[in-house]
Each structure stands twice: as C-alpha cells, then as structure tokens.
Amino acid sequence: MVSKKKKKYSSGEGAQFMTRKAALKKLQLSLKDFRRICILKGIYPREPRNRKRAQKGAGGIKTLYHTKDIKFLLHEPTIWKLRDLKVYQQKIRRARAMREYGQMKKWLRDYPDINIDHIVKERYPTFVDALRDMDDCLTLCFLFSTFPSLQRVPRDQSMMCRRLSVEFMHAVIAAKALRKVFVSVKGYYFQVEFEGQTITWIVPHHFAFQPQSKDEVDFKIMSTFVEFYTMMLGFVNFKLYHSLNLVYPPKLTAGFTSDNDKDLVDEQAYVSERIAAMNLSLARVAGSNEAEELPEIDLFSTEDEDPQKLEEAKLEAEKVKKLKTMFKGLKFFINREVPREPLVFIIRCFGGEVSWDKDHFVGATFDETDESVAYQIVDRPSMDKQYLSRYYVQPQWVFDSVNARTLLPINKYLMGAVLPPHLSPFVDKTKDQVYIPPEERELNDPNFKPLDDDSGTEIEEASDEDAEEAEEPDSDDDETALTKQYQDEIKEDTSDDDGEGDDETDAEKKKLKKEKKKAMAVTTGVTHKEHPYQKEIEDKQAFRLREKLVRKKHRNLYKSMKAGQETRKKEIWLLRKKRRLHEEKIKEDKKVEKKNQKKEAFENATASV
C-alpha cells in the first residue's frame, strides 16, 4: 500500500502565510475595505523566515499575512457592516444615475457609520495597554486638529480631533501629569506620565496648512487611522476624567461642536477658541474634594532591590512632586507675539495662572496692567512700557525651567538676551557613547565650570586647558596612544631629572660629586620602571585574540555592533571638535573686540589731549 504523497506547502511556513490577494479572496473584500479593516483591527503584514517557502515557491516579494490573522478577521462582525456599506453605496450610486436627487440626499444624510468600540476593547484589553500605545494616537490627533476640511477626510473628523485633543490636555492639566517638554524643529514635544506610562507626542508648529499631493500623503489611509484613534482617545479621555473626578464631556467653549455655523470662520478664530478653552477650569463631580493628593510612596526594602536605587526613586518622586507645583501662585502674562498654545498648556499644568491681551484674543482672565503679574513672556528685543514688578523673560525660559524642574535664574533669558541652547530632555543618560554638551554637564554637575565663562585675563590659560582636554585620549583608545603617552611621560621624567640638577646655589658641589663619581666608576642603578600601561596593552591584545573566538553565528552581529560603536565614537569626536573650535573662535572674537575697544579709548584720549 502506497501512502498518499504529502502536498507541498500544506504545512509549516508555506501554510502559515497568505498573500494579500489570497486574503482578499478569502475575506471577499475589496482592497480598500481590506486596508480599512486591517488598520482598524491592527493587523499588519509579516516578514517570514523563509520567503520562498512562505510564498509557496513563488518568486518576487509579496505582501504576506499570517493565516491566523486572516482567520481572526473572518470572525469580525464589522466585515458584514463593510459589505452592507457596499450595498448602500450602490444604492446611492443608482439614485445619482437615475437623477433621484432627493432620495440620494437622504441616503447620503443617513450614511451609517461603523461602531468600533469593541475593537478598541479587543486591541487594548486594559487601560494601561491603551495608555502604552497613545504616542501615535496623540500625534496624529493633534496634527489632524490643525487641518481644515479636506477631500477624502470626513468633515467632522478634524472637529472631533480638536475636541478630543483639548479634552486630553485638560486631563493632563488636571492630573498635573506633564513631565518634559521640548521645542524641536518639527514641533513641540510633550511627555506626560499616566499610571506609570510615559506618553510622548508632538504638536506641530502653527503654520498655514499647505495641501500635499496624493503620492506624498494618502489622506484616506490617514483618516482611517484617525477614525480608530479618535475612538481610542475618546475612551481614554473618559477614563481619565472619570479617575480624576471630572465631568465628562467637559463644557468647553462653543467652537468644538460640529453643527454650529463656525465652520466658515477663519483658522485664527479656531486657534484662539482652543487656547481660550484651555484656560478654563473644569467642573468636578459633586462630592469630590478638590485637593486630592497622592499618598506618599511606601518604600519596601525587598531583598532584590538595591537600596541605592530605592533612594534614587525616592529622590525622583520628591523632584516630581516639586515640579507639579512649580508655577503655583505665579501669574504669567503672554505677549501677543508669543505662540500661546504650548505656553498656556505648560503654565496651567504646573499650577500657574495665565492671561494675554484681551483686545486681540478671547479668553483673557486678567489684564496686562495687573500688578500681581510675576512674569511677562515676551519675544521681542525691547518694550516701551515696562513694569518694575515683573520679570520680562523669553519663552524658552518656561521650557528650560520645566526640564530643569526648578525655576531657572532668569538672567540668561531676559528680554533681548542671546538665549543659551535649548537642550533635549529625552537624551538617555544611561546609554554609553552619548555626547553630552557642556551646557548639560553644567546642569547635572554644579561644580562643572564651562570654559566660556572665563574673564579676559584667563584667556590664554583657558585655551591651554582646552588643548589639553582635547588631547586627552578617549576611554577606549588604542594601545599606540597609550604607549605614546607612556613614552612622553618617560621623557618628561628624564627632563625633570635634568631640570632638578640646575640649581645655581650648589652647582659647584654637584660638579665635584660628578667628578668623584667618574673616578669611582660606580653608578646608581636605575630602577626598572614598570610600564604603567603594560597591563592595559596586554589586556587589549588578549581581548583582540578573544574577539576572534566569537561564534560564527554571532560574528556578523558583533561586527555590526562594533562598527556602530565606531561611528558613534567618530560622531562624538566630531561634535567635540566643533565645539572646541567654536569656543576658540568666540574667544578670539572677544579678544579682538577688547583690543579694538582699548585702541579706541586710547585714540579718544590722545585726540582729547
């Protein structure tokens, strides 16, 4: 009896994967609908281990989906909705063709939308799961909230994004959850912390919208993403408000409902509405007390926890607590040239009160003439009328203060001053091979003295130091450098010995001694100097040999890792060099300036005489 021959690709990787075409056939969906359902359900193509086998022997590169994923889609009730929609669209199309415009209008008006609540729950079984995946959601929602109504994007979508993003910001303000901010070339980065999850998102800079061509951005797909993300953000907002004892939905200004006539109002009006909405305080649920503080963190001395780590965590918690009330009781006034949205959000997050020119924008709470204003944020070189009772600072001060977690001294940020660089708070300090600019080092280490603080007299000295620093070898330099250094040291030693003998007072004695020595022909033995870097050199050599024993399996990985290390090292070296050159140039300029000043002064003096 001959057993039946097993068909090829009926098991293993060949059966695990499915091309997109096969998936479409199996699900009986059009590509458009398939894309949509995939985005909603979070299903993505996979990279097989063996492509040839996964494609059932076919050549080329095909989009492959896991068979189990497609089966999972098969049981999705939304698929039936999509099929119904297809029929509905046919009805509309028919009505248009038959010129039954009344009917067509009615159908268009009653266009059914798909309910995807269950998909949100399915993709994020717990609230923390949803929070963990909020980065993209928020970035996209904030981006869409700046869009006008576009072709291929439902009109109320940007309105919805606008509403939800403001609601989310309010939740952040109420929870005091903002931790880090950063102004980048792309936009404003905000990092918040909810339930131990950090969420980072970007708010684009406010520029006029410019339409893009279709091959650059497919807004249809983007809008499908937004469809899901608005749902998700809505539920997250509800949960956040719920946990903060706030009423959801909050009563904000009228600019956030879709049925009003403000659709035609210009963009500026929207923006100021949004900012004004942010300056409101929200209604709390009746019976909840206002000042609700989190309990102190109890520190359990578990065995596996490092006591030092615990201490660090405690310190961190203390700092965060301080940060939360950083601006409490302070009044800020924002000048009209300053972008208000991020500033209002930040100041409100840390308990400050904020207002702006009420003649230009709605929602101002107090006037510029208010004497209790502590800081006025300006972005212009000078102002005609200044109040003595307040500081005039540039907007970067707010961002830098938040990142430093204290109110920074304002002297570097005063009106018209050249600002210090704005540093990213997101640089991972635990990573090795990270370039830390001197400004950051100064922030971390109060004893660190930056070189550009030197006064004019110390210029030469400082530059010497500089050069020395530059010559200082890196932590993992080559043995050649080590040996060179060693040789230099030996040279120095010998020269020192020579130098010591040059004392004038007992030169004669020494001469005598020397003659004596010659006569006696006995020389003091030179102690064998241990090569101080010998050990390191040996270790290095041994390591290089050991490196060759890296398993074949890991050899390529190892090589690429080493190459990466090398490029990073090079980058750091380049940055350091550029910094050094920059500082030298500044010093040179200062010197020249000083010289010129002196010269001028001298000339003036001589002229007057």
Q: Which of residues 436-455 bind other proteins (CB under 8 A)?
A: 437-440
Judged by beta carbon, residue 279 or residue 396, the one nearer other proteins is 396
Amino acid type, 67: T
Judged by beta carbon, residue 140 or residue 378, the one nearer other proteins is 140
Report which of 355, 359, 322 is spatially closest to residue 340, judged by C-alpha positions.
355
For position 216 contacting other proteins by CB under 8 A, the verdict is yes
Answer for the pair 477, 572: CB distance below 8 angstroms, yes or no: no
Contacts with other proteins in 3-32 (CB under 8 A)? none
Which of 506, 571, 600, 603 is in the footprint of other proteins by CB under 8 A? Answer: 571
Answer for the pair 422, 183: CB distance below 8 angstroms, yes or no: yes
Answer for the pair 425, 182: CB distance below 8 angstroms, yes or no: yes
What whole-number distance in Å separates Cα of residue 425 and Cα of residue 178?
13
Residues 409-438: x where in contact with other proteins by CB under 8 A, - otherwise, as a string: ----------x-xxxx-xx---------xx
Q: In angstroms, what is the minimal distance from the CB of 29 to other proteins?
A: 17
- Strand (E) or helix (H) holding 325: none
**Region near other proteins per CB under 8 A, out of 77-85, 203-211, 486-494, 524-532:** 203-211
Contacts with other proteins in 502-521 (CB under 8 A)? none
Instruction: Work out the number of other CB atoms within 10 angstroms of the CB of residue 307.
Output: 9
Contacts with other proteins in 295-314 (CB under 8 A)? none
Which of 9, 127, 366, 391 is in the footprint of other proteins by CB under 8 A? Answer: 127
Q: Which residue has the tokens 């409101």?
A: 280
**Region near other proteins per CB under 8 A, out of 263-271, 283-291, 514-522, 560-568:** 560-568
**Region near other proteins per CB under 8 A, out of 90-98, 125-133, 318-326, 369-377:** 125-133
For position 408 contacting other proteins by CB under 8 A, the verdict is no
Contacts with other proteins in 244-283 (CB under 8 A)? 248-249, 259
φ, ψ for residue 202 (rounded to 5)?
Answer: -115, 135
Judged by beta carbon, residue 385 or residue 553, the one nearer other proteins is 553
For position 391 contacting other proteins by CB under 8 A, the verdict is no
- Strand (E) or helix (H) holding 395: none
What whole-number distance in Å separates Cα of residue 305 and Cα of residue 313?
11
Q: Which residue has the tokens 């909810």?
A: 194
The first and second tokens of residue 342, run together, are 């991020």
Report which of 137, 133, 116, 112 is spatially closest to residue 124, judged by C-alpha positions.
133
Q: In angstroms, what is the minimal distance from the CB of 336 to other proteins?
A: 19
Peptide bond into 249 cis (omega under 30): yes
Judged by beta carbon, residue 383 or residue 557, the one nearer other proteins is 557
Judged by beta carbon, residue 156 or residue 357, the one nearer other proteins is 156
The first and second tokens of residue 381, run together, are 């070189």
The first and second tokens of residue 524, run together, are 């003091």
What whole-number distance in Å separates Cα of residue 288 and Cα of residue 292?
9
Number of residues that bind other proteins (CB under 8 A): 108
**Region near other proteins per CB under 8 A, out of 86-94, 375-383, 457-465, 545-553:** 545-553
Judged by beta carbon, residue 140 or residue 323, the one nearer other proteins is 140
Contacts with other proteins in 32-91 (CB under 8 A)? 39, 41-47, 63-64, 66, 68-69, 72
Judged by beta carbon, residue 114 or residue 459, the one nearer other proteins is 114
What whole-number distance in Å separates Cα of residue 124 and Cα of residue 263?
34
Which of 254, 265, 285, 561 is in the footprint of other proteins by CB under 8 A? Answer: 561
Judged by beta carbon, residue 217 or residue 467, the one nearer other proteins is 217
Contacts with other proteins in 143-172 (CB under 8 A)? 143, 146, 156, 160
Judged by beta carbon, residue 76 or residue 368, the one nearer other proteins is 76
Sign of the alpha-carbon dihedral angle for 427, 428, 434, 435: positive
Contacts with other proteins in 459-498 (CB under 8 A)? none
- Strand (E) or helix (H) holding 82: helix 78-97
Answer for the pair 377, 333: CB distance below 8 angstroms, yes or no: yes
- Strand (E) or helix (H) holding 537: helix 534-547
What whole-number distance in Å separates Cα of residue 340 and Cα of residue 276?
10
Which of 135, 341, 357, 370 is in the footprint of other proteins by CB under 8 A? Answer: 135
